[in-house]
Amino acid sequence: MVRGPAGAWAALGPLLWGCALALALPGGMLYPRESPSRERKSLDGLWSFRADFSDNRRRGFEEQWYRRPLRESGPTLDMPVPSSFNDIGQDWRLRHFVGWVWYEREVTLPERWTQDLRTRVVLRIGSAHSYAIVWVNGVDTLEHEGGYLPFEADISSLVQVGPLPVHLRITIAINNTLTPSTLPPGAIRYMTDTSKYPKGYFVQNTDFDFFNYAGLQRAVLLYTTPTSYIDDITVTTGVQQDSGLVNYQVSVKCGSQFKLEVRLLNAENKVVAEGTGTQGQLKVPGASLWWPYLMHERPAYLYSLEVRLTAPTSVGPVSDVYTLPVGIRTVAVTESQFLINGKPFYFHGVNKHEDADIRGKGFDWPLLVKDFNLLLWLGANAFRTSHYPYAEEVLQMCDRYGIVVIDECPAVGLVLPQHFSNTSMNHHMRVMEELVRRDKNHPAVVMWSVANEPASYLESAGYYFKMVITHTKALDPSRPVTFVTNANYAADKGAPYVDVICVNSYYSWYHDYGHLELIQLQLGTQFENWYKTYHKPIIQSEYGAETIVGFHQDPPLMFSEEYQRALLEQYHLGLDQKRGKYVVGELVWNFADFMTNQSPQRMLGNKKGIFTRQRQPKTAAFLLRERYWKIANETRYPRSAAKSQCLENSPFT
């Protein structure tokens, strides 16, 4: 998070923008929860919106659109938040827009927020893809680089200004331009051949396979804390004989006089352990552990850590209360196993995207709950947040349902030597800091993935990944770290630094098209090569086939539902040869069809979903369901047949 001279900075170039310096993170990023001392006010709903279509995309800065209501600058649109802006309108120019868009919303604050000087008011933006500048009543308040993580600012001094009711005008300018040092990287290419392109014509080139949706795609809200407050909590957990251990560290913002009390409550709301002070260890005899879905008859057990701060201030004592869900579990990796609570865990799940009709990457509760119903129905126990951090509410659902997460940062498309520069590396480390800060307390998160399919065979990638992975381990020594590779095992310069090898392959799809009979051989060779070189557990982190729902061909032909099914079956036979040896997981590509850039290889997006974009099952979904439930029943503790835990009654159960 950086505050800076937006005007000067915006003058750098038509679309390009400076890279924020890697500064130490200034504080915590606790999820804004209500409590006896904290309130929330959602700013979701309709915002005014204007894309800056001027040639240099800088008219908004030149005319200072943030100084007065946006509607006074020219025509505005109604824009729902959260949502990507791209698919909302009928104007094709907006769908492909690259440059600055402007959002604005007015809000009236409750008096108790503005009159009580013991109250602190915070503006929090769940994400803004990809660079954002925020003004409150025309005052430059906050800037943030990076599209998939939250940022916030204390705006108390702007709202506590006198006895009158306080109206706020929040203006957010967002730029979706990607540069070689952003994550993901991209580049603006100006087309200079005037026989083919009009003057000044440019396109944004990217090397990743999903549509670069942008806008305010997650919740925007205001929340309060007392002026002396709990700023951050870090929890790690362990198990000692039959006791659970909860190590906590709390950082507070207040004077030197304060009292900090910590209580751990079980699911029945009974206090099971207590402590005082900013750090300590709570011991829970006979603890119920947090187990993944289908791994145990009582999965996803959550305790609540209630932290209470009491502090004197010049205007009287204040107390702040924050309650954090805590799952007690351990994660460990051996040469050939991934252990959760000391037992071998096999990832049988999916890769996802935040993607749906109309809303693009906009957060949506109905979609999220539907997706979880489908995951539970499928018997999936894990997913990877391919290829960027997902909304915090997604991870909260994973904690509650026992869906294990490989949490990936937005480093996708690092394919050129310039993507491994020091500037990129510093930014990458900062994104990992923001990611770990946000997600460190989720029991569901069992591993960090620092990248997807980088050009890890490049010489510079070796040093780069050594640094990024070492940094991530220093930020969080409690979880393994990986990146997802599609490089040749012998050439991969980053693999020596990972804890688990995550490998993508598309046999009989991108290679030897149509030759399903080669999959088992090629997959077996792939696994053996990686294992003999590194002696680390392996996850098949992607495999799949493009499939148009309703296309049928038997014998199977590419793009038909039968081909997807047959390809998956061949992969499963290959996986079963090594499952229980050193292959510790399989994540199909992809959970659902999703939107991509237009190209002759993509027909209205990527169709490798086992569900359609509208979440209807293809034939392969039934195959996977049978397989995942079978594996679950073979690997369950204690041994007894698992039952679906669907959130609602599904006709498929």
Please list every residue from 348 through 407 that binds ligand GCB, using CB under 6 A.
387
Between 58 and 353, name the residue whose CB sits nearer to ligand GCB.
353
Candidates 212, 236, 373, 504; binder of ligand GCB (CB under 6 A) is 504
**Does the protein bind ligand GCB through residue 526 (CB under 6 A)?**
no
Q: How far is the CB of 514 from ligand GCB (least distance, A)?
A: 17
Between 209 and 586, name the residue whose CB sits nearer to ligand GCB.
209
CB-CB contact of 436 with 319 (8 Å): no
Q: How far is the CB of 210 from ligand GCB (least distance, A)?
A: 7
Half-sphere exposure at residue 5, Cβ-oriented, CA atoms within 13 angstroms: 5
**Does the protein bind ligand GCB through residue 608 (CB under 6 A)?**
yes
How many angstroms separate the CA atoms of 614 and 36, rounded? 40
Between 331 and 458, name the residue whose CB sits nearer to ligand GCB.
458
Q: How far is the CB of 610 from ligand GCB (least distance, A)?
A: 13
Q: Is the dihedral of CA 69, 70, 71, 77 positive or negative?
A: negative
Q: Does an H or E element contain 240, and which?
A: strand 229-240
Q: Does an H or E element contain 541, and which?
A: strand 538-542
453 as an active site residue: the answer is yes
Instruction: Give which of 327, 321, 307 is closest to 267, Cα–Cα.
Output: 327
Q: How far is the CB of 366 from ligand GCB (least distance, A)?
A: 25
What does the radius of gyration of the chain's CA atoms come to, in whole angstroms? 25
**Does the protein bind ligand GCB through residue 485 (CB under 6 A)?**
no
Q: How far is the CB of 149 from ligand GCB (least distance, A)?
A: 20
Q: Which is it for strands 45-51 and 331-333: parallel, antiparallel or unpaired?
A: unpaired
**Does the protein bind ligand GCB through residue 408 (CB under 6 A)?**
no
- How many of the chain's residues bind ligand GCB (CB under 6 A)? 10
Between 120 and 387, name the residue whose CB sits nearer to ligand GCB.
387
Cis peptide before 198 (omega within 30 of 0): no
Q: How far is the CB of 415 from ligand GCB (least distance, A)?
A: 11
Contacts of 559 (CB under 8 A, 6+ apart): 546, 547, 548, 551, 607
Q: How far is the CB of 91 from ligand GCB (least distance, A)?
A: 27
Between 224 and 485, name the residue whose CB sits nearer to ligand GCB.
485
Location of structure tokens 């800091």: 433
Instruction: Give which of 373, 395, 455, 404 is closest to 625, Cα–Cα.
Output: 373
Please list every residue from 554 through 593 that binds ligand GCB, using CB under 6 A.
589
Instruction: Give which of 306, 305, 189 is closest to 237, Cα–Cα.
Output: 305
**Does the protein bind ligand GCB through residue 606 (CB under 6 A)?**
yes
**Does the protein bind ligand GCB through residue 482 (CB under 6 A)?**
no
Separation in Å, CA 562 to CA 112, 377, 507, 587: 62, 21, 16, 20
Candidates 371, 542, 586, 593; binder of ligand GCB (CB under 6 A) is 542
**Does the protein bind ligand GCB through residue 453 (CB under 6 A)?**
yes
Instruction: Give which of 591, 560, 574, 544 is closest to 377, Cα–Cα.
Output: 591
Between 152 and 354, name the residue whose CB sits nearer to ligand GCB.
354
Q: How far is the CB of 412 from ligand GCB (least distance, A)?
A: 7
Between 133 and 502, name the residue whose CB sits nearer to ligand GCB.
502
> Which one is catalytic: 453, 542, 546, 561?
453
Cis peptide before 156 (omega within 30 of 0): no
Cis peptide before 344 (omega within 30 of 0): no
Q: Is the dihedral of CA 590, 593, 599, 600 positive or negative?
A: positive
**Does the protein bind ligand GCB through residue 209 (CB under 6 A)?**
yes
Q: Is the dihedral of CA 643, 647, 648, 650 positive or negative?
A: negative
Residue nearest to ligand GCB (CB): 209
Question: Which residues are at the interface with ligand GCB (CB under 6 A)?
Answer: 209, 387, 452-453, 486, 504, 542, 589, 606, 608
Q: Active-site residue numbers?
A: 453
